[in-house]
Amino acid sequence: MIKDSLSQYAFNRDFIKKYVPVIELTRGNSSILLVPAWQGRVMTSTAEGANGYSFGWVNRALISSGKLLPHINAFGGEERLWLGPEGGQFSLFFKKGTDFTFENWQTPAFIDTMPYEVLSSSDTSALFRIETEIENYSGTRFDLTIERRVTLLSETALKTMTGITSSGLNSVAYYSENSITNNGNNIWRKENGLLSIWMLGMYNPSPGVVVVIPVKEGEENKMGKKVNDNYFGSINPDRLKAEGNHVFFRADGKNRGKIGIPPLRAENVMGSFDYQNNILTLLFCNLPDGITTYVNSAWQIQEDPFSGDAFNSYNDGPLEDGSQMGPFYELETSSPAAALSPGGKLTHNQITVHLTGDRKLLDEVSTRVLGVSLERIENSFK
């Protein structure tokens, strides 16, 4: 049982329900909380029932204010759907001809404040949809349908889909299927800009959280860097390490930074371990082999707008003026760029897993799935 009520699933569930309708999926002691008004995002989850730890970061100050903010409404949530690219000549977040500055940055309403239609829901699954349109920085219009299905997995389904045996552990696992369909009359072509599905999860940081990303070995000129840290400036070695075929990144919510893994380096899984709270989080995403066409979200006109990363992790921290949105940290995955004919569809799936309980059993899962022991993760920056 969690003693701090702010970290308790039931507290956060009941808090959110005061302000917005929710859908709760439950299977045994596993539950996840979905909000149709916020694009069907998973706000939080638990592996130990109502009194268990609440895994998703919840922006209680913004939600309780009842106000909408300019630029972005970061309600929180441990899995939300966005579309890329964020910056560049094909940006979805900047209007044509504007400078790439925060004052001009605007999250599109259909991935920020617009509700999604609930097509169906049961005790363990819910399906959401919206039809919308957007014009990118270069003036290309996209008419599209977004669909998103979230399914709470059984222990059997989890083992079948990931190989994880959760017997003896507390677990919550869910599978999301996210798709975009070209509703227009024109083919989506690279020269006009393409869209990608971009999934972001906001989690609660602590001084004991380390993100772990397995990466493939290989020559840099063929596979790209093992890790890119040029999003918000280079990250100090006391916060980011690439050792062998693993990347370690401190996610304490105290220093703003972001890293990316190129598609040829990604191993279809990433995770984090919070050794203070004994939480192992795993994110599975099977990327298509050999495809390197991923949108580039850098806030500048780009030489190669399709040289983006497949996996990302973000650690929140204070801005220059001392203000801070979180604290939280993020695990993110992206689909390849979607070159779709009229009626064509691209789907991007992922599985999120949280495990707590016996450390020896957690260590067995970490060693098998991430290829690294919990002890090594815990000591990576000590």
Give me the pLDDT at residue 322, please: 87
* Amino acid code (one letter) for 43: M
376: β partners: none
pLDDT at 232: 86
Nearest-angstrom CA–CA distance, 268 and 282: 11
pLDDT in tens, 32-56: 999 999 999 999 999 999 999 999 9
- Per the prediction, the chain carries an average pLDDT of 96
pLDDT of residue 207: 96
pLDDT at 302: 95
**Does domain 5-208+269-378 fall into CATH 2.70.98?**
yes
Domain boundaries, the chain: 5-208+269-378
Reply yes or no on whether the pLDDT at 117 is more than 90.
yes
Whether residue 342 has a cis bond before it, omega within 30° of 0: no
Question: Which pLDDT score is estimated for 2?
Answer: 59
**365: Cβ contacts below 8 Å, ≥ 6 apart:** 164, 165, 169, 280, 282, 355
The answer to whether 68 and 113 are in contact (CB under 8 A) is yes
Which strands sit side by side in the sheet containing 311-315, from one edge to the other?
A: 80-84, 196-203, 329-334, 311-315, 257-261
Could you tell me the pLDDT band of residue 320, with boundaries at 50, 70 and 90? confident
Q: What is the pLDDT of residue 297?
A: 94
DSSP 58: B
| Global model pTM greater than 0.85 | yes
Can you give the pLDDT at residue 97? Answer: 92
